[in-house]
Amino acid sequence: MMRTSFLFIFSILIITSVTAQNNAISKAEKLTYTASYNMSGILTDIAQVSMETNEVKTSKSTLLRLKCTAVTYSKWDNFFKIRDLYESYVNPNTLTPYLYNRDVNEGSYFKNMKYTFSNNTVKSVMKKKKDYVENNTLTIHSGTKDIVSTLYYMRLLDFKKMSVGSQKSFTILFDNEEIKGMFTYLGKETIGTAIGKKECYKLAIGTSEKNVLQGKNNNLLWLTADENKIIVYGKFKIPVGTGELKIKSASGLKN
């Protein structure tokens, strides 16, 4: 299940470079999604996924906090309760991460992972139940980000300049390992969502980690083809069926 939730979060991300400036993400944005399991066309709602931003001020700087939470619907809580929190404190313009925190509570499983970024070095602290603490210092490649900032960073990309079929690669740091991934731009598509009919950029995501995302073009994301580029729909291949992420509401958008 942990892998499944990772799959969900991981599946909705991407990255590239470009000298992007943040003209897509506001400092008080809230996106809410429903994560569902689709078996033979029958959807079962499992959890609510929220993506929120807020401004964080220190004495020297102002940062953007990117926060993602996954909470199972109450009907599931007695069977398998998920209360996951992923957050990243980033540069508000470039989304370069400084601090990342992942707190996973899934059933009886607990894990907390904290990364402190400093150039190409990351100080990692992992905590598990029974006071288990593991400290590591990792060397990462330039541009490697955490999963949350990567997820938001894709919204800074200029899809207008991309041709159909073009691919971009990205690297994320997850569980103290750098994972390489790639997305393919599949063109524009108009889909119906809870926030209206939207013209979207359609992307296929893949990764070098075979256990995470399976198949070619089986893991898809739809981002609105406007200045906000918010994720409105995601479809992911999972064992026995597919997982879906559908937007429920969006507020505080920048444009």
Question: Contact positions toward another protein, by CB under 8 A?
Answer: 15-21, 34, 39-40, 42-45, 48, 56-63, 65, 67, 69, 71-77, 79, 83, 85, 87, 89, 91-94, 96, 98-99, 101, 103, 116, 118, 141-145, 166-171, 182
The minimum distance between CB 175 and another protein, in angstroms, equals 19
The minimum distance between CB 190 and another protein, in angstroms, equals 27
Strand bridging mode 167-174 / 145-146: parallel
The amino acid sitting at 111 is K
The minimum distance between CB 132 and another protein, in angstroms, equals 19
How large is the C-alpha radius of gyration of the chain?
17
- Looking at beta carbons only, is 6 or 117 nearer to another protein? 117
The minimum distance between CB 243 and another protein, in angstroms, equals 14
The amino acid sitting at 28 is A
- Looking at beta carbons only, is 93 or 190 nearer to another protein? 93
- Looking at beta carbons only, is 40 or 197 nearer to another protein? 40
- Candidates 18, 16, 21; CA nearest to 167 is 16
- Looking at beta carbons only, is 121 or 197 nearer to another protein? 121
- Looking at beta carbons only, is 21 or 255 nearer to another protein? 21
- Looking at beta carbons only, is 170 or 222 nearer to another protein? 170
The minimum distance between CB 121 and another protein, in angstroms, equals 12
The minimum distance between CB 195 and another protein, in angstroms, equals 18
- Looking at beta carbons only, is 134 or 199 nearer to another protein? 134
Burial class of residue 5 (count of CB atoms within 10 Å of its CB; 0-12, 13-18, 19+): buried
- What CA–CA distance (Å, rounded) separates 107 from 81? 5
The minimum distance between CB 58 and another protein, in angstroms, equals 5
- What CA–CA distance (Å, rounded) separates 16 from 188? 19
